[in-house]
C-alpha cells in the first residue's frame, strides 16, 4: 500500500523502537511497513522523542543514525505538547474512567493530538491499536 507524500503520519514510539531494534517482537512487521514511512510527512510530538531516545536506544549508534534520518527529512514537524499536558496528566491520574481503559501519559497526549482538529494527522503507526482505535475512528484517521 503506497501513501501520498501529502499525508501526515503520527508514529508511536513503540513503532520507532520496533523499526530500529532487531530484538523487538514487532521488528519484522515494522520492516514490512517501513517503506510507507518514506512516502509521508511526519509529526513528532516531543513525548515520542523522549520515549524513543531513551538510554538503551541511544547507546546503539546505528539505530540513532537511522532514526536521525527520519528526524531530518523534509516535511518533518516537531509538535509542542504544551496545550495537552495538563489535561493529559489529569486523565492519566483520574480514577473512575467511564471506558474502564487506562492510558499512560504519553498515550493520553497522543490521543489528544489525534482528536485535535487543528493538527493534521492522516495516519497513525502503532502496535497498540486498542489504545487509539476509538479516537482514530472518530477523526477518520487511518491506523497502520
Contact 129, 143 (CB under 8 A): yes
Domains held by the chain: number: 1
Give the CATH number for residue 36: 3.40.50.1010
Residue 38, domain member (yes or no): yes
pLDDT recorded at residue 79: 96
| Residue linked to cell 524513543 | 52
- At 76, list the grid cell: 518533518
Residue 1, domain member (yes or no): no
State if pTM tops 0.85. Answer: yes
- At 126, list the grid cell: 502503532
pLDDT recorded at residue 33: 94
- Other Cβ atoms within 10 Å of 66 Cβ, number: 14
Dihedral (Cα; 109, 110, 113, 114), 10-degree rounding: -140
- What b/e sequence results for 101-124 when a residue is b if at least 16 CB atoms lie within 10 Å of its CB, and e otherwise? eebeebbbbbbbbbbeeebebbbb
Residue 3, domain member (yes or no): no
Q: Report the alpha-carbon distance of residue 121 to residue 130 in Å, rounded.
A: 18
* Closest listed residue to residue 114, CA positions, set 79, 73, 86: 79
> Which residue segment(s) compose the domain that 71 sits in?
8-143
pLDDT-flagged residues of the chain (< 70)? 1-5, 96-99
Residue 54, Cβ density class (10 Å: 0-12 exposed, 13-18 middle, ≥19 buried): exposed
Amino acid at each position: 500500500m503506497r501513501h501520498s507524500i501529502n499525508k501526515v503520519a503520527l508514529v508511536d514510539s513503540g513503532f520507532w523502537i520496533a523499526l530500529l531494534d532487531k530484538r523487538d517482537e514487532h521488528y519484522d512487521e515494522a520492516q514490512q511497513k517501513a517503506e510507507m514511512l518514506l512516502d509521508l510527512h511526519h509529526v513528532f510530538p516531543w513525548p515520542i522523542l523522549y520515549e524513543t531516545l531513551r538510554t538503551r536506544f541511544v547507546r546503539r549508534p546505528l539505530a540513532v543514525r537511522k532514526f536521525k534520518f527520519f528526524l531530518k527529512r523534509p516535511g518533518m514537524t516537531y509538535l509542542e505538547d504544551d496545550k495537552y499536558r495538563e489535561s493529559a496528566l489529569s486523565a492519566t491520574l483520574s480514577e473512575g474512567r467511564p471506558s474502564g481503559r487506562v492510558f499512560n501519559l504519553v498515550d493520553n497526549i497522543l490521543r489528544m493530538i489525534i482528536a485535535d482538529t487543528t493538527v493534521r494527522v492522516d495516519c497513525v503507526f502503532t502496535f497498540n491499536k486498542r489504545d487509539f482505535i476509538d479516537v482514530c475512528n472518530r477523526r477518520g484517521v487511518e491506523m497502520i
